[in-house]
Structure 1
Amino acid sequence: MGELVRRRCARVLLVDEEDRVLLFRSVDYMGPGVEYYVTPGGGLDAGESLEAGAVREVFEETGLRLDGPLGPVAAETAGVWSDGPDLAVESEDAYFFVRVPHFDPVRDGLEAIEQREFTEAVWLTIPEVTQIDALVFPARIASLLTALLDGAIPAAPLRIPWGAWTWDTDRGWTTTERAPILDR
């Protein structure tokens, strides 16, 4: 494996009034027939707080401006991922849970690579998320969303298992076992 980069990420579970969560769907970007989903969010800029990074990423990726405090971090996960043999990313991801009115995401602020990667933005119900949960990057979110929608905002962030994939020079893409949400 090539270079290892450490990265802190802020991710946002945007949920509308019908309890649907916004995810970005990717098809064929990593290879023919490869499909996965990504929550809005991404890496922090130097000196940026988690909340500021979350607000910036949501605006860049969806066009939505979040006003006011986002509330506490609902969950965290950490692990290594890569999208090829030359770079591995050791990532620590924090998830915010934010209720928003339904809107149509605007993709104008996406970086060029994100415009190619994210085939579409989709609003999914919990049953729909449960069906594709193993394809959500970098960690499963269905159980977390169910708990959050039931009003279980944790006093401290829940620790959710990492589920992203990495490049293995002998085997190509490898995935990690995805387990249910665990408390810290």
Structure 2
Amino acid sequence: MDTAGPHVEPRRCARVLVVDEQDRVLLLHSSGFVTPESEFFVTIGGGIDAGESAAEAAARELFEETGLRVDPVALGEPVGHTLGTWWLGFEDHLFFLLRVERFTVDFAHLEASEIGELTGSAWLSIDEVKAIDEGIFPVPVADLAKRLLSGDVPAEAVELPWVNWRGDTKRFPLPE
């Protein structure tokens, strides 16, 4: 007898760790998505659409969520991976690294479901990322970012531990 239940394919997602010339990581801020009082940070990215590669999805999401257009080839190979269960279901995330000159985030291309959820952005130092790491969706990224910024770019995606992220247990407001 099969007690595991039906097999459910994970929602495939692609994310981008965007880092500027001063080694600051760009994170987006979300308010009220998980619970009305929730505040947390989000790495740039989202679901991979049918027919898209992970890099194509990451480039599309980067444009939608920040206004920055890049060729998917510029993202290279994934540098991180995580897999776990969230309230939307089972998720499988690949992370890419993109070094850029700092730019101003433009939310003009957000999907309808993201309007109102994404409430700001911040370019944060590694120390600042570390300080809010438990409030970053889908997983803490400070250690990976620190590794990448030291020049240690892995040949294969590093496995990032899924931390049963909830986003509603502590508030992580935008820095002043």
Q: TM-score, normalised by structure 1?
A: 0.81
- Name the CA shift for 1:69/1:63 in 2 (closer, same or farther; >3 Å): same
Unaligned runs of 5+ in 1: 83-87, 167-172, 175-184
Residue type of the alignment partner of 1:132: I
Deviation >6 Å, runs of 4+ = none
| Corresponding residue number in structure 2 for 1:169 | none
Q: Paired residues, what number?
A: 162
- Determine if the alignment matches structure 1 residue 55 to structure 2 residue 62: no
- Please state how far the C-alpha of 1:165 moved relative to its aligned partner: 3.1
CA-atom RMSD in angstroms? 2.0
Residue type of the alignment partner of 2:82: T
Q: Does 63-72 or 48-57 show the bigger shift?
A: 63-72
- Please state how far the C-alpha of 1:6 moved relative to its aligned partner: 2.5
- Determine if the alignment matches structure 1 residue 39 to structure 2 residue 43: yes
- Determine if the alignment matches structure 1 residue 90 to structure 2 residue 95: no
| Corresponding residue number in structure 2 for 1:180 | none
- Determine if the alignment matches structure 1 residue 71 to structure 2 residue 76: yes
CA distance in structure 1 between the partners assigned to 2:52 and 2:68 by the alignment: 19
CA distance in structure 2 between the partners assigned to 1:61 and 1:164 by the alignment: 24
Q: Point out the structure with the larger strand share.
A: 1
1:137–1:163 contact (8 Å) kept in structure 2: no
| Corresponding residue number in structure 2 for 1:26 | 30
Overall identity of the aligned pairs, in %: 46
Unaligned runs of 5+ in 2: 1-7, 170-176
Residue type of the alignment partner of 1:50: A
CA distance in structure 2 between the partners assigned to 1:104 and 1:5 by the alignment: 36
Residue type of the alignment partner of 2:123: W
Q: Does 65-74 or 123-132 show the bigger shift?
A: 65-74
CA distance in structure 2 between the partners assigned to 1:74 and 1:132 by the alignment: 21
1:5–1:89 contact (8 Å) kept in structure 2: no
| Corresponding residue number in structure 2 for 1:133 | 133
Residue type of the alignment partner of 2:53: S
